[in-house]
């Protein structure tokens, strides 16, 4: 599958993307995970991105496009990909359209996770993430807890709260989403690609995506 996952911070993009990779081996490409790994490794990209991320701002479009132009040409993308957290602005969506045309890649669909704000706020404050950059499994202390000793069930690394999970940064991320990312729904609606999902069940959403892919 070649799909884009849209949705506010905490809507469940990472959770759904990970479930979809188990379905047909398509690779999850999360720009957030790529940036967090770069911050942890202290690369130039990480140094440039860190302050934006900690505040809950988007990093510059040019930086994201540099990352994605290379990433989409890596061999594991040939089996399919799930774009999680990209594009996030109209300029990114326009650049992605040109890039996909250049690479002769057709998208199957664009999925929008439409989740109420109170659910999102609750999910974000109770999320925990595996600190191992090559795992980054997503947990939730209410709906999907890690091991009782606070370690990852998959790799045994400590699970943590992300640096952008302060109340101030969460509210700013939601505001940034409304201003800069929500307009992408109209963009992809006009392209005839948008599929909305408002279920609170990840299983129902994954089944709905599989059904839409078969049409
Ligand atoms: P990114 O990592 O993409 O963060 P985000 O979009 O804010 O999304 P989240 O990862 O917070 O949430 P999610 O929708 O993946 O939800 P999750 O599955 O974890 O980006 C971080 C930062 O990087 C940005 O702020 C920006 O600075 C920068 N950045 C990244 N991409 C960029 C771009 N393209 N351009 C510019 N800047 C960029 O789920 C949340 C919680 O809910 C979890 O605890 C999960 O267990 C739980 N949960 C999920 N589904 C369910 C369910 N069905 N029932 C119960 N609990 C559930």
Token pair 């109170």: residue:
118
Which residues lie below 8 Å from residue 85, measured CB to CB, with a gap of 6+?
Answer: 5, 13, 14, 30, 31, 32
Q: Nearest Cα to 29, choosing from 91, 94, 73? A: 73
Tens-place pLDDT, residues 12-56:
999 999 999 999 899 999 999 999 999 999 999 999 999 999 989
Rounded to 5°, angle at Cα 136 from 42 and 194: 105
Q: Which residues are catalytic?
A: 13, 88, 127, 162, 173
50 close to ligand 1 (CB < 6 Angstrom): no
146 close to ligand 1 (CB < 6 Angstrom): no
Tens-place pLDDT, residues 130-163:
999 889 999 999 999 999 999 999 999 999 998 8
Tens-place pLDDT, residues 189-210:
999 999 999 999 999 999 999 9
Tens-place pLDDT, residues 69-127:
999 999 999 989 999 999 999 999 999 999 999 999 999 999 999 999 999 999 999 99
Among 6, 14, 153, which residue has the most ligand 1 atoms within 8 Å of its CB, making it the best to mutate?
A: 14
Amino acid 186: pLDDT = 98
The overall average pLDDT reported for the chain is 95
Amino acid 68: pLDDT = 96
Token pair 């109420």: residue:
116
Among 123, 168, 179, 200, which residue has the most ligand 1 atoms within 8 Å of its CB, making it the best to mutate?
A: 123
Whether 166 has a pLDDT exceeding 90, the answer reads: no
Amino acid 167: pLDDT = 87
């Amino acid at each position: 599958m070649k799909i884009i996952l849209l949705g506010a911070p905490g809507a469940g993009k990472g959770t759904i993307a990970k479930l979809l990779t188990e379905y047909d081996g398509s690779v999850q490409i999360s720009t957030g995970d790529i940036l967090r790994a770069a911050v942890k490794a202290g690369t130039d990209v990480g140094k440039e991105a860190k302050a934006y991320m900690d505040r809950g701002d988007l990093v510059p479009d040019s930086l994201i496009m540099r990352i994605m132009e290379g990433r989409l040409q890596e061999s594991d993308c040939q089996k399919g990909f799930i774009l999680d957290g990209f594009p996030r602005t109209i300029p990114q969506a326009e650049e992605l359209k040109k890039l996909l045309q250049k690479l002769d890649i057709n998208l199957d669909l664009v999925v929008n996770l439409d989740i109420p704000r109170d659910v999102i706020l609750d999910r974000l404050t109770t999320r925990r993430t595996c600190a191992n950059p090559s795992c980054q499994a997503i947990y939730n202390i209410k709906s999907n807890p890690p091991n009782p000793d606070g370690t990852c069930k998959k790799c045994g690394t400590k699970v943590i709260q992300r640096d952008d999970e302060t109340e101030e940064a969460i509210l700013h991320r939601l505001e940034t989403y409304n201003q800069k990312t929500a307009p992408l729904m109209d963009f992809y609606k006009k392209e005839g690609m948008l599929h909305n999902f408002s279920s609170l069940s990840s299983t129902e959403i994954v089944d709905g995506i599989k059904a839409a892919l078969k049409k």
